Amino acid sequence: MLRTALRNVLAHKARLIMTVLAVMLGVAFVAGTLVFGDTTANAFRTATGTSLKGVAVSVQSQQSQEPPGAAAAGGPDGKPSSTLNTALAHKIRALPGVAAVRPTVIGEVTVAGKDGLPVNTDKARQHLATNYLPGKDSRISLKEGRGPASEGELALDAKTAEKAGYRIGDTVRFAIDGPALAKKLVGTVSTDDPRVNAGGTLTLFDTRTAQKLFLHPGQFHEIAVAAKDGTDHRELTDRVRALLPDKGAKATRGEDLAAEQADQIVEGTGALTKALLGFAGIALFIGAFIIANTFTMLIAQRSREIALVRAVGASRRQVVRSVLIEAALLGLGASATGFVLGIGIAVAMRPLLNASGAGLPDGPLVISSGTLVWSLVVGVLITVLAAWLPSRKAAKIAPVTALSSVDQAPPARALVVRNVLGALLTGAGVLVMVYVSTLTTTAKSNLMTAMLGGVLTLVGVIVLAPLLSRPLITLAGQATTRLFGVTGKLAKENALRNPRRTAATASALMIGLALVTGLTVVGHSAERALVADATQGLSADYKVSNGSLSGTGLDVGAAAKIARVPGVATAVPTTTAGFDTKGGFAQITGTDPKAFGKAARLDFRAGSLRDIGPGKIAVSDELADKGGLKVGSTLNAGTTTGRAEKERKVKLKVVAVYAKTPTMEDALGTLADVLPYSDNKKLEEVLVKAEPGQAAGLERKIRAALGDSPLMEVQSHEQAINDGGRAINLVLKMMYGLLGMALLISVLGVVNTLAMSVFERTREIGMLRAIGLDRSGIKQMVRLESVVISMFGAALGIGTGIFLAWAGSGMASSTMDAYETVLPWGQLVILLALALAIGVLAAIWPARRAARLNMLQSIQSS
C-alpha cells in the first residue's frame, strides 16, 4: 500500500499541485512567524544584554519612573527627588570588589526640528535623555564631534540629528515640560539602546545640567556598578543593599535584571507571534477545504482503480491507510518547501515592518529545531486530517464498481443529517451572537463568548453551505443565463451538479471574506466613532494643548495670549476636575461660558450657556438621570485640591441640562470654579475660533505666541479628523495584509476545483464541442462557473461578516461612546468586485485547458 500511495502521488502531480501550494503557503506562514518571533526576541535580548554588559549591580531610585514635573515626586520645586546621590555613589565605589560606578540621570526631552515641529511625536515615552559619561557608558559611542561638557551644550543620537536637520554647531531647540530651551549641538552618538533603535530619540547633557533639568544637584536616578574579576555578584549586591536607605532605592543583581527584562521581551514578542499564528491558522483552515476537495475528487475519478485494489484482496483499512499515506507524503513535501519559504518570509518581515516605523533591532536569523518540527508536524497533520473523510469514502467503494464506467457519476448522497447539524450549529451561533450584542463591556469572558459565537456561526454556515448553494446559485444562474445564454445555463448546472464540492470551494473563499468584511465594518464604524469623539460638538478651528507626558498643561494666561494673535476671533480656555456625586464619579469642565458657545455646540434640554456663572453649572442629561438632578437642584460635589489633601464638599447649583457628547461629557462650569480643583491648576486646552477666512496658517502664529515649545500641540479640525482614523487605518492595513494569504489560498481552491472538474468532465466537454459549442464558449462556460461559485462564497462571507460585526457593536461602544455599526457601502462593493475578479482570474488556466482539449480524444476518454 505504501508503493501504491507513492505511485498515486507521482501519477497525479498536476492534479495535486494546487493542494501542494495551499499547504506550502499555510506552513510558510507558520514557519515564517515562528522564525520571525525567535529572531526578534533574540535581537531584543541581545540589545538588552549589551546595554547591561558589565553591570554587576543596578541601584535604581524607586521614583525614577516619575515623569519630570510631577509635584508628588517630592521635590520642593516640583521636580522629582532621588535618594541616590553623589555621596552614596562614593560609598559604593569604595566597597570591596567594585571596579567602577556609573551614576545616571534619566529624563525625557522632546526635540524640535529645524522646521520648528517636534521630532518623533508618535513614539510615546521614547524621547529619552541622560547624562553623558565619556568612557564609562558602553551603550553609547561618540560618532561625530564631542560630548557635552557645559550647561549650554548637548549631543543627539545621529538618526535624530539627521531627521531634525541639525549639524554640529547648530542650536537645538527642545522642551521638557514647559517653555522651549536651546543649547548648542556639539556631537552625535550611536547607541544600541533598543528604544532608540525602535524610533525614539536620545538627548545627552553633561551630568550637572542633566541633574538641574531632571532632578536636583548631586542626585541620580540609577547607579550601575561594575565588579572586579572574581567578585561574587550576589555578595556584592548584598553589600550594596546594606548602604541603601530603607526607602526610595532598590539594588538588583545585573543577571537578575537582564533575566527580568528578557522575560518582558519574550512576553511582548510572544503576543505578536500568537497573533500572527492565529492568522496562519486561518490560512491552514482554509487550505484544509482544498485538500479535502482534492482527495474527494481524486477518489471519485479513481473509483475503478480502488475497486480493482479491493477486488484483489485489499481491505478497507488498507485503502484508508493508502489514502492517508498519500496525504502524509504530500503534506511532508509541501511542508518542507513551505518551511524554506517561511524562512524567506521571516527575513523579509523585519525590513518591511521597519519601513512602517517599527524600529526592530538587527540580529542574526534564529532557526530552531522546534520550528522545523512544528512546521512539518502542522503541515502533515492538517493534510492527513483533511484527507481522512475522503479516505473513508474510498474504503466504501465496492469491488463490483470495477465493472462500471470510470466516469459514471457517483450516486448523490442525502444531505439531511448535514443540514440538521448545520442548522443546529448556525442557530446556536446566532443565539450566542445575539446575546453578545447585549454585552456592554470588553471583559475577557465576554470576548471569549464572542469568539465562541463567531466560530459556531462560521462553522454552521460552512456546514449549511450545500443547502444554501441551490437557491443562491439558481438566482445567480438566472442572471448568467439571461446575459450569456446557453453557456450561462451550463455554468449554473455545473455549479449545482455537486453541492458538496461547490460548497467546500465557496466556503474557503467565504471564511476569508467574512473576516475581511467584519474587520472593514468594525474599522469603519470605529473610525467614525473616533472622529466623533474628537470633533462632535466642536466648531473650533484649532485645539491647543501641551503634549508633555507629565501632563503639565498650559499656563492660565495662554488663552489671552492666543486671543491677541491676528486672525483669532475667540480663544476659549478649558480645564477639568474630577468630583464624586450621588450619580458616581464625574468630570466637570471649567471654561468661559460666554466664549464657549463660539467654539462648541451643545444641545440644551433646559437652560442655556448664559445661565452658567459662579457656583452655577450645566450638567449632561446622563448625569442628571443618574444623580436625579434637574434645573434648580443643588449638586453636592466631593473634590480635592491635590493628591495629599482631604476631600472637600462643594455646592454647585444646576442651572441647565444638555445632551452629552464625546467632547463634553458630565458637567460644565466657570473656569474660576473648576481651576482650583484641577490636577495641576493649569489649563488643559484652549479652543481657538478663527476670523472668517483666517484659519489657514494660524498654527505657526499660535505656536509663536506661546513660546514655540516643541511640546505644544496645535491641532486643526481636519487634523483631529485624520488623527481619529489614522490608528484604525493602520491596524486595518496590517489585518488586510495578513488575511491576504488566506484569500490567496482561497483562489487556489477555486482554481483547483475547476481544473479537476475539467478533467472529470473531459468526455462531456468533448460532446459539447461535437454538438457545436466552440472553444470560446467552453472558456466562457468555465469562467462563468468560477464566477458563480465565487459570488456564492462572497454572498455568504459578506453577509456573515456584517452580522458578526453588528453583534460585537455593544462591546465596542463600551470603549467608544459614539460607536454604532455603520456599513461602508463603498468598501463592500469593492469586496464584491474582488470576489468577481477572483472568479475570473481563477478560471484562466482551467478555461484554457478545457478549450484546448481534443474533441475526438475527449469523447473516447474512459
Asked if the structure places residue 67 within a domain, the reply is yes
User: Is the distance from CB of 612 to CB of 618 less than 8 angstroms?
Assistant: yes
Phi and psi of 571, rounded to 5°?
-125, 115
Report how far residue 515's alpha carbon sits from residue 454's, in angstroms, rounded to the nearest whole number: 10
Report how far residue 816's alpha carbon sits from residue 530's, in angstroms, rounded to the nearest whole number: 7
Measured from the Cβ of residue 733, the count of other Cβ atoms closer than 10 Å reads 12
pLDDT confidence of residue 413? 62
Report how far residue 556's alpha carbon sits from residue 398's, in angstroms, rounded to the nearest whole number: 91
Secondary structure (3-state) at 189: strand
User: Is the distance from CB of 552 to CB of 69 less than 8 angstroms?
Assistant: yes
Name the residue among 418, 581, 421 with its Cα closest to residue 499: 418
Secondary structure (3-state) at 653: strand
Tallying the residues shown for the chain, one arrives at: 862
Helix H or strand E encompassing 433: helix 416-436
Q: What is the CA radius of gyration of the chain?
A: 35
Phi and psi of 142, rounded to 5°?
-70, 130
What letter does residue 538 receive in the DSSP assignment?
B
Asked if the structure places residue 776 within a domain, the reply is yes
C-alpha cell, 460: 454552521
- Split into its structural domains, the chain has a count of 4
User: Which one of 253, 286, 307 terminates a domain?
Assistant: 253
Same-domain status, 241 and 134: yes
CA dist list (Å): 106 to 199, 210, 212, 617 = 18, 8, 12, 43
Report how far residue 57's alpha carbon sits from residue 101's, in angstroms, rounded to the nearest whole number: 9
Asked if the structure places residue 471 within a domain, the reply is yes
Asked if the structure places residue 365 within a domain, the reply is yes
Asked if the structure places residue 545 within a domain, the reply is no
Phi and psi of 29, rounded to 5°?
-60, -45
CA–chain centroid gap for 788, Å, is 34
Report how far residue 25's alpha carbon sits from residue 741's, in angstroms, rounded to the nearest whole number: 8
Tell me which long-range contacts 398-402 makes (C-beta under 8 A, separation of at least 24): 398/307, 398/310, 399/307, 399/308, 399/310, 399/311, 400/307, 401/303, 401/304, 401/306, 401/307, 402/304, 402/307, 402/308, 402/310, 402/311
Amino acid identity of 459?
V
Name the residue among 839, 729, 850, 724 with its Cα closest to residue 779: 850
Same-domain status, 184 and 74: yes
pLDDT confidence of residue 13? 62
DSSP string, 694-731: --TTHHHHHHHHTT--TTEEEEEHHHHHHHHHHHHHHH
Give the chain's largest Cα–Cα span.
Answer: 103
Same-domain status, 103 and 148: yes
Measured from the Cβ of residue 351, the count of other Cβ atoms closer than 10 Å reads 10
Same-domain status, 162 and 142: yes
Q: pTM of the full predicted structure?
A: 0.75
Same-domain status, 181 and 291: no
C-alpha cell, 174: 527642545
Amino acid identity of 358?
A
Percent helix, percent strand, percent coil in the chain, to nearest 5: 55, 15, 25
Burial of 184 (0-12, 13-18, 19+ CB in 10 A): middle
Report how far residue 96's alpha carbon sits from residue 661's, in angstroms, rounded to the nearest whole number: 65
Asked if the structure places residue 230 within a domain, the reply is yes
C-alpha cell, 853: 482539449
Residues 6+ apart with CB under 8 A from 232: 97
pLDDT confidence of residue 253? 92
End-to-end Cα separation, the chain, in angstroms? 25
Same-domain status, 578 and 669: yes
Same-domain status, 247 and 261: no
Report how far residue 436's alpha carbon sits from residue 431's, in angstroms, rounded to the nearest whole number: 9
Asked if the structure places residue 430 within a domain, the reply is no
Burial of 721 (0-12, 13-18, 19+ CB in 10 A): middle
Asked if the structure places residue 447 within a domain, the reply is no
pLDDT by residue (tens digit) across 353-383?
Answer: 766 656 677 778 899 999 999 999 999 999 9
- For β-strands 222-227 and 106-108, DSSP reports them as unpaired
- For β-strands 222-227 and 57-61, DSSP reports them as antiparallel
User: Which one of 705, 732, 763 terminates a domain?
Assistant: 705
pLDDT confidence of residue 350? 78
User: Which one of 253, 286, 309 terminates a domain?
Assistant: 253
Same-domain status, 376 and 483: no
Name the residue among 176, 201, 173, 203 with its Cα closest to residue 187: 203
User: Is the distance from CB of 54 to CB of 239 less than 8 angstroms?
Assistant: no
Phi and psi of 824, rounded to 5°?
-85, 85
Measured from the Cβ of residue 567, the count of other Cβ atoms closer than 10 Å reads 17
* Alpha helix (H) residue ranges in 207-315: 207-214, 233-243, 254-301, 303-311
Report how far residue 534's alpha carbon sits from residue 515's, in angstroms, rounded to the nearest whole number: 28
C-alpha cell, 236: 556584592
Same-domain status, 508 and 471: yes
pLDDT confidence of residue 71? 35
Mean pLDDT, the chain cut into blocks of 10 residues (862 residues total): 60 68 87 88 76 84 50 49 90 92 91 83 72 80 92 94 93 86 94 75 94 92 92 92 90 87 75 81 85 80 77 84 87 92 88 68 85 92 90 82 53 77 95 91 87 93 93 91 92 89 88 90 85 74 76 83 93 89 81 89 90 93 88 79 58 91 85 87 90 87 85 80 68 77 83 80 87 91 94 94 91 78 92 92 90 82 58
pLDDT confidence of residue 727? 66
Helix H or strand E encompassing 654: strand 648-658
Helix H or strand E encompassing 58: strand 57-61
Same-domain status, 241 and 109: yes
Residues 6+ apart with CB under 8 A from 488: 477, 479, 480, 481, 482, 784
Amino acid identity of 313?
G
Secondary structure (3-state) at 558: helix
Name the residue among 635, 638, 552 with its Cα closest to residue 110: 552
Residue 121, domain extent: 54-253
Secondary structure (3-state) at 212: helix
Same-domain status, 324 and 353: yes
Same-domain status, 22 and 115: no
Report how far residue 269's alpha carbon sits from residue 360's, in angstroms, rounded to the nearest whole number: 11
Report how far residue 645's alpha carbon sits from residue 721's, in angstroms, rounded to the nearest whole number: 39
pLDDT confidence of residue 25? 87
Measured from the Cβ of residue 667, the count of other Cβ atoms closer than 10 Å reads 27
